[in-house]
Amino acid sequence: MKERMIVAVDGPAGSGKSSVSREVALRLGLTYIDSGALYRAVTWFYLEQRHGPLDASIDFGRELGAIALTQEFLPDGSSVTAVNGTDVSASIRDEAITKNIGVVSDAVPVRNFVNSLLRRWSSSRSIIMDGRDIGTVVFPDADVKIYLDASVDVRALRRIKEYGEMGKTLDENAVKNLIIQRDSQDKSRPFGRLVRAEDAICIDTSEMTRDGVIEEICRIILEQSATEPTPRERQ
C-alpha cells in the first residue's frame, strides 16, 4: 500500500456505499469517513434549534461557527458522529433528518464548512470517504474514485430489508418514491451535486453480492496502490 491513499466512493442513496466502504476500510487498514453523517449532523443541529421544519429561507451559514463536529471510526466498523460533544450517531438516522436534509445540503456555506472538515481530517492518513461529490469536489485528485450505482428497485428492497431487520415495516412504493425524490434532489443541486466523475470506475451493484462489491473495490485499490504516482502525489 502507498503511504497515503485517498479513496472516494460516490453514488446515490441506497447504493451500498457506506456499508461496503466500512468493510473495505477494515480490510485494508484505512480510516472510513462518512460525509453524509456530517450533513445529517448539521441538519440535526438546526432542527434542535428551531423545533420545526427547515426551509431554504434560513441562513444556514450564520451559525456554523457554533457547530463543532467530530467523527470517530471504530475497530468494529461503526462510526460515532458528535455535535458539540453530543453523540448523534443514532438520531441523525431519524426520518426528520432525511426529510429536512435537502435544504441544508443545498446551502453553499454548509458545503464549504463540511468540505474543509473532510479535507482536514484526511490530511495525514489514508482514508476511504463516501458521499455524493467526493471524487468531483472534495478530492478531485483522489487516488481511486468509485461510483457505486444500483437500480431504484434494488435500492428500495435493500432499504426495506435493512429496516425489516430492525423490526420496522416499510411500504415499497413509499420507499421507491423517496429514493427517486432524493436522487433528483442530489443530482440537481447547483453546487456539489451527485455526478459521476469522468475518471471514476462505475460499479453497478444491482446484481452483485455485498461481498462481491467489497472484493472488487479492494482489488481496484490494491492495484492502484501498486502503480505510478497519482496527480496528487506528484504535487
Whether 1 and 222 have beta carbons less than 8 Å apart is answered as: yes
> 180 — alpha (psi -120 to 50), left (phi > 0) or beta?
alpha
70 CB-near residues (< 8 Å, 6+ apart): 81, 82
Q: Which is nearer to ligand C5P, 70 or 225 (CB)?
A: 70
CB 89 within 8 A of CB 74: no
Q: Give the other-Cβ count within 10 Å of 179's Cβ.
A: 18
Q: Which of residues 32-91 bind ligand C5P (CB under 6 A)?
A: 35-36, 39-40
Nearer to ligand C5P, 80 or 222 (CB): 80
**Shortest Å distance, C-beta 211 to ligand C5P:** 21
- Span from 20-28, 125-133, 143-151, 203-211 in contact with ligand C5P (CB under 6 A): 125-133
Cβ distance to ligand C5P smaller for residue 36 or 147:
36
Question: Is residue 105 a contact point for ligand C5P (CB under 6 A)?
Answer: yes
Enter the C-alpha cell of residue 207.
Answer: 446484481
Helices of type H across the chain: 17-28, 35-50, 95-106, 108-121, 152-165, 172-188, 210-225, 231-234
CB 84 within 8 A of CB 34: no
Q: Toward ligand C5P, which CB reaches closer, 25 or 134?
A: 134
Contact pattern from residue 177 through residue 196 relative to ligand C5P, giving x for each residue in contact according to CB under 6 A and a dash for the rest: -----x---x-----x----
**CA dihedral defined by 73, 114, 63, 87, rounded to 10 degrees?**
-10
Q: Does 11 bind ligand C5P (CB under 6 A)?
A: no
Q: Do the strands 201-204 and 144-149 form a parallel or antiparallel pair, or are they unpaired?
A: parallel
Q: Does 13 bind ligand C5P (CB under 6 A)?
A: yes
User: Using CB under 6 A, which of the segments 132-140, 155-163, 200-208, 215-223 binds ligand C5P?
Assistant: 132-140
Minimum CB distance to ligand C5P smaller for 67 or for 225: 67
The answer to the question of residue 126 lying near ligand C5P (CB under 6 A) is no
Binding site for ligand C5P (CB under 6 A): 13, 35-36, 39-40, 101-102, 105, 131-134, 182, 186, 192
